A and B are shown apart, each in its own frame.
Chain A
Amino acid sequence: MNYDFNFAPVLANYPRLLEGAWVTIQLSFGAMVAGLVVGLMGAIAKNAGPRPLRWLVDAYVEAIRNTPFIIQIFFIFFGLPAIGLRFSPNVAALVALIINVGAYATEIIRAGIESINRGQVEAGIALGMKRAQIFRYVILRPALRTVYPALTSQFIFLMLTTSVVSVISASDLAAAGNDINAETFASFEVYLVITVIYFILSIGFSALFSAIERVAFSYPLSR
């Protein structure tokens, strides 16, 4: 092994790494929040929507879940302008991420809603709850609690997926790494540092999700 590790030029570029990491955090967080909304709407449509809408949701979920993200983002950035839809790279990245995670969230939340026992709903009706109340307290909240682990690991996976967005010239953490690599040629060192930062981010997001879980789902379990 006669290789001289040279981390100095990588670490000297730490402001750019931080800037890139910040974009990655924003993209991830934005896509998680919006993806959750898409997932909720998708799951509700799948559950209670008219048949054509259910088919549409099915097609969306299957198309996204069975094709790679990198193809989806190429399609959105390079293909969609042909029909007049044009986004800047970071916005295109966010749109692609939302569309992607929305499909997974739809599927996860749908499974959660289906896991709710009919008897619970009937109990809610018997108690004289309104439809919206039943949906919110009897269906949605327990469903979300059931699928929370699946949802959050999907979100972590999403955060890691953002590393692909530099292919459309978005300026995330991986793009900062690519730029520094192009200037320093210290490839291994650059990508090792970047990987460590992603690892820290995934630990950070995990901690955030546990904190949210404690706050949002701390009411006693009833079996």
Chain B
Amino acid sequence: MIREFGTSDFLFILFAVRWTLLLSAIAFAGGAVGGLVIALARVSQNRIFSGLALGFIRVFQGTPLLMQLFLVFFGINIFGISVTPLLAAAIALTLHASAFLGEIWRGSIQAVPGGQHEASWALGLGYLDRMKSIILPQAARISVAPTVGFLVQLIKGTSLASIIGFVEMTRAGQIINNATFEPFTVFGLVAVFYFILCWPLSIAARQLERRFSRATAR
């Protein structure tokens, strides 16, 4: 039962990386859709939409991700539907990402100079055209760096799915540690894997930001 840390343990943790990546990808894709909706609702003229979006952002940015995971995990059952830990984690992280991306993108949309809005009004463009052709493309450029930065936060956030029992990288590390009792090696290794995933993104985010601020410097 208790064994030395060996190649199979290394591979077990290495293979768990794909679950971390999958969960991150799902949450990011879902969060991109949700975040766009939230951001558009936040900047809309409609008070109800923007109020609801603000409430959503406040709640998800003001409560721990771990509790959001627990609530989704145990909460969906109330409706008589059972979910796997992967699905629960995917839903919770999607909501979480929607709130953060919604707030980042709201800022980006509002950073587009007001003259652009007015000019597209003056051209008689409707809401969809105005957003699609004028505002969002410019906002997208502004938002790239913070969005990549958030992706790092999201990848790290998937580690909490371990607590509801989803076997991603952190849980894999715990399971191996429970059989080998070599925490220094095991958690050190897991940390290195996370670092390999996150560091290039962090560097990219920083360079994008630098390039952007140079481009907009007057």
Contacts and interface: CB of A to CB of B under 8 A. Distances in A.
Taking the complex as a whole, does A directly touch B, i.e. does some CB pair lie under 8 Å apart?
Answer: yes
Interface of A: 1-3, 62-63, 65-72, 74-75, 78-79, 82, 156, 160-164, 167, 174, 187-188, 191-192, 194-195, 198-199, 202-203
Interface string B33-57: 0000000000000000000000000
Contact of A199 (B62, B75, B152, B157): B62
Given A162-B64, A174-B66, A199-B63, 13 more contacts: A3-B80, A67-B194, A68-B157, A68-B160, A70-B159, A70-B160, A71-B191, A75-B188, A75-B191, A160-B62, A161-B64, A191-B70, A198-B64
A199 B59 contact: yes
Given A79-B184, A187-B70, A71 B159 contact: yes
A191 B62 contact: no
A69 B191 CA distance: 10
B102 interface: no
B156 interface: yes
A174 B163 CA distance: 12
B146 to A, nearest CB: 11
B111 interface: no
By Cβ-Cβ distance, the 4 closest A-B pairs, closest first, are: A68-B159, A66-B198, A78-B183, A163-B64
A160 B187 contact: no
Contacts of A191: 67, 70-71, 74
B62 A62 contact: no
Nearest to B200: A66
Given A63-B195, A66-B202, A71-B190, A195 B74 contact: no
B67 A75 contact: no
A167 B71 contact: no
B144 interface: no
Contacts of A198: 62-64, 67
Interface of B: 59, 61-68, 70-71, 74-75, 77-80, 152, 156-157, 159-160, 162-163, 170, 173-174, 177, 183-184, 187-188, 190-191, 194-195, 198-199, 202
B201 to A, nearest CB: 8
A3 B78 contact: yes
30 contacts: A1-B79, A1-B80, A66-B156, A66-B195, A66-B199, A67-B191, A67-B194, A67-B198, A68-B159, A69-B156, A70-B162, A71-B173, A71-B191, A71-B194, A74-B173, A74-B174, A74-B177, A75-B183, A75-B184, A75-B188, A75-B191, A79-B188, A82-B184, A156-B62, A160-B63, A163-B67, A188-B71, A188-B78, A192-B71, A195-B63
B183 A74 contact: yes
B71 A66 contact: no
A82 B77 CA distance: 42
A1 B78 CA distance: 6
A124 to B, nearest CB: 24
A203 to B, nearest CB: 7
Contacts of A174: 64, 66-67
